Amino acid sequence: MADRATIQFNDVTLELPVIVGSEQERGLDIAALRAKTGAVTIDQGFGNTASTTSAITFLDGEKGILRYRGIPIEELAEKSTFVETSYLLIYGKLPSKTELADFSRLLTRHSMIHEDMKRFFEGFPGTAHPMAVLSSMVAALSSFYPEAIDIKNREVIDITIARLLAKVRTIAAFAFKKSIGQPFIYPRNELSYCANFLNMMFAVPAEQYPMDDDAVKALNLLLILHADHEQNCSTSTVRLVGSAQTNLFASISAGVCALWGPLHGGANQEVMEMLDQIHESGESVDKWIARAKDKNSNFRLMGFGHRVYKNFDPRAQIIKRSADTILKRFGINDPKLDIAKRLEEVALKDQYFIERKLYPNVDFYSGIIYRALGIPTNMFTVMFALGRLPGWIAHWKEQIESPTARIGRPRQIYTGPTLNHYVGMEQRA
């Protein structure tokens, strides 16, 4: 029997169309609700609200499934590269050999930033958080490429996409160099996307950076795992800003700001700081777990819990395996990995975490790998942004190309004072 949904509100009965996705997800279309009943729906945090239909990423939080354009994340993590996965997300299919070569060439050709832009870095204090630098620089790109406002022009969109993917990597590395007072290292065209990034981060004019294939592989893996996650906070931000037909640079800059928050992408930095804190305290893991459960304490187990994953986060499982291999490969004995594993072990057996379905998320182990690669803690969220870029771009593009897209403009239920008149200063109590 086909699905049927009706809403009864006072004396009005409204039949709601049921939208069925390709994986049989169901959504009740309430577009006519306000016009027919005068009422709206309210859903704090959007836990039950689909803001759009989308053909980019499928996620089943109960079963721990994540697929980009239908391809399981596990297969991409094992077989793909970040550049190929970016193409897949943005253009909807795996590229042919020629398409991939052309796309990679485009990213290589656009990797330098305008020399004038380099001077912007001088204006930031040395203590600036690299996410502040990144969001400002990404918005500033629109002043160097003003044609990006032509959002209906296919060629302009393609070149803007290439510029973003290529230059954000350079901006991220320059932000790091600025923070440690070293000269900027320019991109090198013979290097792959991830190798080029590592070189810009760690080479110095006096010395070459010895490229390590395993480091490049690890970076590819982390970026692929972060590349998209459907309508999360930052992607929804990009879509909302983009729904006003705002150019891609400006929309992505807003996404960077949303990602910065500690409940979202900023959690990877918080996880590492938490592991450092636990390590330095010398206290037992059980004590910290007790603190995380205590409602009088504001300590949360960072990197734990997820709005949609209620069983396990498939990305966390891949990263955990890879953290072991990478640390072994680099001969690093990081006590923070042991603390993280112990926290996970204790939490997964604890009724508090079981009842609330709280599991390690993508951020729980990623910092351990970033640290092994030499990336400092305050750059972790920038790394997340670099990884999430193709997802943001794909969603912005999907929306701009949709014939049914409308500006995003939620409603509210007003709870402030009712009609209230202006009182002159002398009469105020």
Task: Report how far apart, in Å, the C-alpha atoms of 89 and of each of 26, 288, 388 are.
Answer: 23, 39, 11
The residue (of 264 and 342) whose beta carbon lies closer to ligand ACO is 264
For residues 238 and 394, give the distance between their C-alpha atoms in angstroms, rounded to a whole number.
10
- Tell the burial category of 282 from Cβ atoms under 10 Å away from its Cβ (0-12, 13-18, 19+): exposed
306 has catalytic annotation:
yes
Instruction: Tell me how far, at minimum, the Cβ of 342 lies from ligand ACO, in Å.
Output: 16
Residue 414 burial by CB count (10 A; 0-12/13-18/19+): exposed, middle or buried? exposed
Task: Using the rule CB under 6 A, give the single segment among 84-92, 258-266, 278-286, 395-403 that binds ligand ACO.
Answer: 258-266
Quick one: which of 59, 201, 362, 368 contacts ligand ACO (CB under 6 A)?
A: 362
Q: Which CB sits closer to ligand ACO, 171 or 319?
A: 319
Q: Which is nearer to ligand ACO, 45 or 331 (CB)?
A: 45
Q: Which long-range contacts (CB under 8 A, 24 or more apart) does 6-11 make?
A: 7/33, 7/37, 9/37, 9/39, 10/37
Q: Which of 129, 167, 169, 306 binds ligand ACO (CB under 6 A)?
A: 306
Q: Can you tell me the distance from the alpha carbon of 82 to that of 103, in angstroms, rounded to the nearest whole number? A: 12
Q: Which helix (H) or strand (E) holds 67?
A: strand 65-68
Tell me the torsion sign for CA atoms 341, 343, 349, 353: negative
Convert 94-124 to b/e letters by CB count within 10 Å (16 or more is b).
Answer: ebeeeeeeebbebbbebbebeeebeebbeeb
Pick the catalytic residue from 226, 306, 313, 395. 306
Q: Does 304 bind ligand ACO (CB under 6 A)?
A: yes
114 is catalytic: no
Q: How many residues bind ligand ACO (CB under 6 A)?
A: 19
Contact 85, 224 (CB under 8 A): yes
Contact region with ligand ACO (CB under 6 A), list: 61-69, 117-125, 167-175, 359-367: 359-367
Exactly one of 187, 242, 255, 303 binds ligand ACO (CB under 6 A); which one?
A: 303
Nearer to ligand ACO, 195 or 219 (CB): 219
Query: Per DSSP, what are the bridge partners of residue 237?
Result: none
Least distance to ligand ACO, CB of residue 299, Å? 8
Q: Confirm or reject binding of residue 349 to ligand ACO (CB under 6 A).
A: no
Nearest distance from C-beta of residue 261 to ligand ACO, angstroms:
9
Residue 157 vs 394, nearer CB to ligand ACO:
394
Smallest distance, ligand ACO to C-beta of residue 107, A: 25
Question: If we measure between CA atoms, which residue out of 238, 269, 231, 277 comes closest to residue 254?
Answer: 238
Contact flag: residue 264 with ligand ACO (CB under 6 A): yes
Q: How many CB atoms lie within 10 A of CB 158?
A: 15
Which of 36, 114, 217, 300 is close enough to bind ligand ACO by CB under 6 A? 300
Residues 6+ apart with CB under 8 A from 414: none
Of 74 and 350, nearer to ligand ACO (C-beta) is: 350
Using rule CB under 6 A, residue 252 touches ligand ACO: no
Q: Is 30 in the site for ligand ACO (CB under 6 A)?
A: no
Q: Nearest approach, Cβ of 50 to ligand ACO (angstroms)? A: 16
Whole-angstrom distance, CA of residue 52 vs CA of residue 171: 31
Question: Which residue among 171, 267, 372, 383 contacts ligand ACO (CB under 6 A)?
Answer: 267
Query: Is 387 near ligand ACO (CB under 6 A)?
Result: no
The DSSP output letter for 148 is G
CB of 356 to ligand ACO, least distance (A): 4
User: In this complex, which beta carbon is closest to ligand ACO, that of residue 279 or of residue 300?
Assistant: 300
Among 32, 101, 244, 263, binds ligand ACO (CB under 6 A): 263
Catalytic residues: 306, 363
